[in-house]
């Protein structure tokens, strides 16, 4: 008998919890959504790598990128060294590795 009372109590608590959860977190029904016509975000972040071992080909590619300074990914199709460097960087650097983020946001 005590087990039945406990089950009924647990069901009432669960029902109350679900009701509160839905009413609290169903943001779309509470607030009207707004449409952004054009959103452009430029993300810049810094990642530091230490004691990295790479092949001679990757070393030369990264060195060439360092000599050029800032390189646009459009050059990947024109320069094999740039392509090699970009491939290595994209395989080994992820935003979650970053220690500093900057966001520039523009919207209409």
Pair (19, 67) in one structural domain: no
Q: Which run of H or of E encompasses 97? A: none
**Is 85 exposed, middle or buried, given 0-12, 13-18 or 19+ CB atoms closer than 10 A?**
buried
30 pLDDT tier (thresholds 50, 70, 90): low
Pair (98, 66) in one structural domain: yes
* Domain that residue 18 falls in: 1-32
Pair (47, 1) in one structural domain: no
Angle 78-83-84 (CA atoms, 0-180°, nearest 5)?
Answer: 140
Pair (61, 85) in one structural domain: yes
Pair (76, 26) in one structural domain: no
Pair (94, 72) in one structural domain: yes
Classified as helix, coil or strand, 49 is coil
Pair (12, 62) in one structural domain: no
pTM, two decimal places: 0.57
Pair (9, 51) in one structural domain: no
Q: Are 45 and 100 in contact (CB under 8 A)?
A: yes
d(CA 6, CA 12): 10
Pair (12, 47) in one structural domain: no
Q: Indicate the number of domains in the chain.
A: 2
What residues contact residue 61 under an 8 Å CB cut-off, 6+ apart?
Answer: 81, 82, 84, 85, 88
Mean of pLDDT values over 81-103: 87
pLDDT of 25 over the 60 cut: no
Pair (18, 53) in one structural domain: no
Mean of pLDDT values over 35-50: 89
């Amino acid at each position: 008998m005590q087990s039945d009372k406990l089950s009924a109590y647990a069901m009432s608590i669960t029902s109350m919890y679900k009701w509160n959860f839905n009413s609290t977190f169903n943001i779309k029904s509470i607030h009207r959504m707004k449409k952004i016509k054009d959103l452009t975000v430029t993300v810049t972040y810094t990642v530091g790598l230490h004691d990295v071992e790479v092949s001679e080909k990757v070393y030369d590619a990264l060195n060439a990128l360092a000599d050029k300074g800032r390189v646009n990914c459009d050059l990947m199709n024109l320069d094999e060294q740039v392509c090699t460097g970009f491939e290595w960087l994209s395989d080994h650097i992820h935003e979650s590795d970053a220690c500093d983020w900057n966001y520039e946001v523009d919207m209409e």
